[in-house]
Amino acid sequence: MSGEQKGGLEDVVVSTSGICFIDGNEGRLVYRGYDVNELVERSSFEEVVFLLWHGDLPSRNALAAHTRALTSTANRRLPPKLIDILRALPRRTAPMDVLRTGVSVLAAFDPDGGDNSRDATLRKSIRLTAQLPTLVAAWERVRRGRPPVTPTPRLGLAGNFLYMLSGKTPTALAVKTFDVGLILHADHEFNASTFAARVTAATMSDVHSAITSAIGALRGPLHGGANEQVMRMVEQIRTPERAEDWIRKALADKARVMGFGHRVYRVEDPRARHLRRLAGELGRQVGDTGAVEILDTVARVVSADKHLHPNVDLYSGAAYASMGIPTDQFTPIFAISRVAGWTAHVMEQHGNNRLIRPRADYTGPTRLSYVPADRR
């Protein structure tokens, strides 16, 4: 059956792209030709952002200039009026809603607003990639009645985010773990949120509008929202001893288990094992490996009974929870990484654009005659 007949554009190839390659049968993820396993071991998120945007690894000087741009206080800082808006929002507002709102407000204050040239879009992409961590951390502080923490130029993107969340300098393990998490989430071909960004960019709309579209798509529990749902499942299971009975009952009830399955991967998502390793290391560091033990039991049963494999969302939350990050901030963290891929795809779409406008297989009547209301 073709993708259209299964629905959801399954297996439908809609356009070419040189940014990200996924081999769903081999379980391979490649950014601009480089295997993500090698990038995790040898690169940094800042360098991966350059790779996604510019198509190859930077020279030492180019990386230094790029890193300075991504970590400069001027580019990280939020407009004061946006902080005022955060303070005006109800404190119960979901962080993903704050992120979506905040990106729209950033567009209004961006000095390159209205300029869709490649150079302007690159400058806006640098600012968005630098500002999103500040926005997510600022909301975390404001909703708890605390003042936002000013970004520090002495830390890279991963370390500075953890610092702005807590006001304390993070451990080297936490920074490394978080940086690996950012690399693993940076891009993933035409996933739902990236495709939403490309559809928006294909109308020649601006990068802030495209990122707002992407955030709306990522929010859904079938996509980026799954990592939050996984941790809610762990909270319901509570202890490793209860995990096997709990998941067997859930499967018997035909429940959809978050963190498992994938539209493209037919084997384990290559990102899952890195996140499982990091979640285990962090859990041991903080003396609590319960979440990973629970997830390992769930994975054993779901894989054996449903032949479904873990995806990127299964262990990421356990790693973030070990860093003291609240559950409803897990999807915003997905976004502060994926904004690198989203902006890369916007620039690729703008660079060789044709409006994305598919057809529908219409199932209704086509020649009805109008009947006045008093005769219906």
Catalytic sites, residue numbers: 262, 313
Q: How far apart are CA 48 and CA 332, in angstroms?
A: 19
Asked if 228 interacts with ligand SDX (CB under 6 A), we say no
120, two tokens: 């302007």
User: How does DSSP assign 5-47, residue by residue?
Assistant: HHSTTTT------SSEEEETTTTEEEETTEEHHHHHHH--HHH
Q: How far is the CB of 316 from ligand SDX (least distance, A)?
A: 10
Residues touching ligand SDX: how many (CB under 6 A)? 21
Contact segment (CB under 6 A) with ligand SDX among 40-48, 238-246, 258-266, 317-325 equals 258-266
CB 82 within 8 A of CB 107: no
Q: Give CA 307 to chain center in angstroms.
A: 25
Among the listed residues 53, 260, 320, 342, the single contact to ligand SDX using CB under 6 A: 260
Q: Which of 105, 120, 122, 222 touches ligand SDX by CB under 6 A?
A: 222
Stretches 61-69, 129-137, 151-159, 223-231: which one binds ligand SDX (CB under 6 A)? 223-231
Residue 188 near ligand SDX by CB under 6 A: yes
Q: Which of 52, 69, 165, 226 binds ligand SDX (CB under 6 A)?
A: 226
Nearer to ligand SDX, 163 or 315 (CB): 315
Under 8 Å CB-to-CB from 186, ≥6 apart: which residues? 31, 45, 48, 49, 52, 337, 338, 340, 341
Q: Supply the minimum distance, in Å, between the C-beta of residue 10 and ligand SDX.
A: 6
The residue from 28, 77, 176, 223 that contacts ligand SDX (CB under 6 A) is: 223
Report how far residue 348's alpha carbon sits from residue 289's, in angstroms, rounded to the nearest whole number.
42
The one-letter amino acid at 162: L
Cα–Cα nearest to 177, from 35, 270, 277: 277
Min CB(95)–ligand SDX separation in Å: 18
Give the residue, chosen from 96, 157, 308, 346, that forms a contact with ligand SDX under the rule CB under 6 A: 308
Report the residue from 148, 156, 159, 259 that binds ligand SDX according to the rule CB under 6 A.
259
**Complex with ligand SDX: residue 67 or 229, whichever CB lies closer:** 229
Task: Give dist(CA 186, CA 28) in Å, integer.
Answer: 15
CB nearer to ligand SDX: pick between 248 and 263? 263
d(C-alpha 220, C-alpha 192), whole Å = 10
Shortest distance (Å) from residue 189 CB to ligand SDX? 6
Question: Pick from 148, 159, 261, 280: which binds ligand SDX (CB under 6 A)?
Answer: 261
Supply the DSSP symbol for 260.
Answer: B
Beta carbons of 44 and 179 less than 8 angstroms apart? yes
- Closest contact distance (angstroms) between CB of 191 and ligand SDX is 3
Residue 257 in contact with ligand SDX, rule: CB under 6 A: yes
- Residue positions counted in the chain: 376
Are the C-beta atoms of 354 and 24 separated by less than 8 Å? no
Q: How far apart are CA 187 and CA 199, in angstroms?
A: 17
Residue 28 contacts ligand SDX per CB under 6 A: no
Q: Map the footprint of ligand SDX across residues 112-151, applying CB under 6 A.
A: none
* Chain residue at closest Cβ approach to ligand SDX: 261
Q: Which spans of this chain sit near ligand SDX (rule: CB under 6 A)?
A: 8, 188, 191, 222-224, 226, 256-264, 306, 308, 311-313
